Amino acid sequence: MVLLIQYNKIIKTNKVFLLMANILGVNTGSDNKVEVLKLIDSFYKDKQAHLIVTPNPEIILKAGKDEELFYILNHADISLADGFGLKIAALLSGQAIHRFTGADLLPNLLTEANNHRRRVLIINHQNGLSSKRDIEEYLNKNYPHISFLVIASPPKVKPDKNELEKIKEFSPQLALNLFGSPYQEKYLSKLQSTNKYISLAVGLGGAFDFLTNKIKRAPKLLRRLGLEWLWRLMMQPIKRARRIWTATAVFMYKLIVWLYILPHCYRPNVAVLMFKQGPGGKEIFIVKRTDNPEHWQIPQGGLDGETVIQGGSRELREESGSTNFKVIASYRNLYSYKFPQEAGKYNRLDSSQQVGYRGQKQSLLIAEFLGLDSEFKINYWDHSAWRWVKEAEFINAIHASRQASGKIYLEKLKNLSVNKTKI
């Protein structure tokens, strides 16, 4: 488990300790190149599966809308800041990071693999600039001691059965995915969950294109000045224009809002109290948070401009996997709390220098479950378990930080009657 803590405090995983900066909720920025390479060496020796991610401004913006990607980025063993915009973002928020790009990392990974005669799996974007044959020819010429398997595939979030069989037979030690985000991170995360023998997995986007000479990398001076984006725009004006706009203007706008506006705002949020009629009375659906095995709560999430019914119903579908429920009642703005009273996605657990939302303003949706328990399918990045609890046991079953709001919501459930309910 990764603890989301600001720069100059230690980020702890079950395997490594790194210093990180937090940008728009995503932890990134390793100590330096030397330390990263030492960690990579240790990863091959400890017989566990490790993941390296290389977030840039585009990827961080995607993570703000993609909870699975957000989870993967913040639970990777190493997160390398890939993009000069992240250095500017860290500086503006009083943090500091070392930039180590995927394009810089790749030659180090291949040299190490060549020196130790490792087995390397490369999942290539079948319509990328570098073809399967381009990559194979490059590796044969420059890294003759690597045993490699190149699989060409359209971008997708998980390997198919045929790929899994090939990968299992090859038994790689290093896996590189070139799909681009968020496909490469999701693919590798799912691959490693079933193939623990893969010591190291890295998402590298188009990093191979520089090695195969499909595109020329910006001169070192431009890279040092943070103008690599300008070089790419000149090289691929049509293809890069929208992406560069996102990585520069949109990213900086989001960052300014994050740093200077959201700390004064409460995020509109909805909690969902779903019940069913059990043999002994009402039972309430609760879930256990993935990031805290002791934290049970009812489903909740942001409203994102929706009504309480719209947002609550969506959250319930997403967090339970079921659509068999009936909305009974909705209530707006029943409870509010500040961060870091409770750890959340939208704060950098530092009460003295908060970024992101000040807290959450919570509405309530009450729904009755009409289906079968077998329908439930929870998202691993949100929750690790679910269960029903009796109405009388509800308050004691949920986390202490949830009990104040839980009492309010339970009272609403108890006071419901068919004639008085207003939806």
d(CA 137, CA 153): 18
What pLDDT is recorded for position 139?
98
Q: What is the pLDDT of residue 319?
A: 94
39 located within any domain = yes
Q: pLDDT digit string (tens) for 99-142? A: 889 999 999 999 999 999 999 999 999 999 999 999 999 999 99
Range of the domain at 357: 266-414
Tell me, yes or no, whether 326 and 252 share the same domain: no
3-state secondary structure at position 388: strand
Q: Does residue 5 fall inside a structural domain?
A: no
The reply to whether 219 and 348 lie within a common domain is no
To the nearest 10 degrees (0 to 180), the angle between helices 33-45 and 102-115 is: 40
Q: Looking at the structure, do residues 199 and 278 belong to the same domain, yes or no?
A: no
Query: What value does the CA radius of gyration of the chain take, rounded to a whole number of Å?
Result: 24
Residues 6+ apart with CB under 8 A from 182: 59, 62, 63, 66, 68, 69, 157
Q: Which of 213, 240, 258 is the last residue of a domain?
A: 258
Which positions ≥6 away from 362 have C-beta within 8 Å? 269, 270, 271, 300, 333, 334, 335, 336, 337, 405
Residue 419 has a CB neighbour count (10 Å cut-off) of: 4
Residue where one domain finishes, among candidates 242, 258, 274: 258
Query: Would 149 be classed as within a structural domain?
Result: yes
Same domain as 197, residue 59:
yes
For residues 306, 310, 314, 315, the Cα torsion angle rounded to the nearest 10 degrees is 70
Distance CA(57)–CA(89), nearest Å, equals 9
pLDDT at 352: 41
Question: Are residues 409 and 306 both part of a single domain?
Answer: yes
Examine residue 254 and state whether it is found in any structural domain, yes or no.
yes
Predicted local distance difference test score (pLDDT) of residue 47: 83
- Our count of domains for the chain comes to 2
For position 54, what pLDDT does the model report?
95
Same domain, 232 and 273: no
Query: Are 358 and 247 in a shared domain?
Result: no
Q: Looking at 191, 226, 258, which one is the last position of a domain?
A: 258
Sign of the CA dihedral 73, 75, 386, 377?
A: positive
**Cα–Cα distance between 211 and 265 in angstroms, integer?**
46
| Domain assignment present for 1 | no
**What CATH number is associated with residue 342?**
3.90.79.10
Structural domain includes residue 2: no
In a domain, 423, yes or no: no
- Report CA 199 to chain centroid distance, whole Å: 20
Same-domain status, 250 and 202: yes
Cα–Cα distance between 331 and 364 in angstroms, integer?
Answer: 5
Q: Are residues 291 and 148 in the same domain?
A: no
Q: Per the domain annotation, does 132 fall within a domain? A: yes
Residues 242 and 316 in one domain: no
pLDDT in tens, the chain (423 residues): 233 333 333 333 443 434 468 899 898 886 678 889 999 999 999 989 999 999 999 999 999 999 999 999 999 999 999 988 898 898 888 888 888 899 999 999 999 999 999 999 999 999 999 999 999 999 999 999 999 999 999 999 999 999 999 999 999 999 999 999 999 999 999 999 888 889 999 999 999 999 999 988 878 777 777 777 777 777 777 777 788 888 889 999 999 999 999 999 999 999 999 999 988 899 999 999 988 888 999 999 999 899 999 999 999 999 999 999 999 999 999 999 988 655 555 444 444 444 788 899 999 999 999 999 999 999 989 899 999 999 999 999 999 999 999 999 999 999 985 445 444
192 and 298 share one domain: no
Asked whether residue 179 falls in the same domain as residue 286, the answer is: no
Neighbours of 149 (CB within 10 A): 17
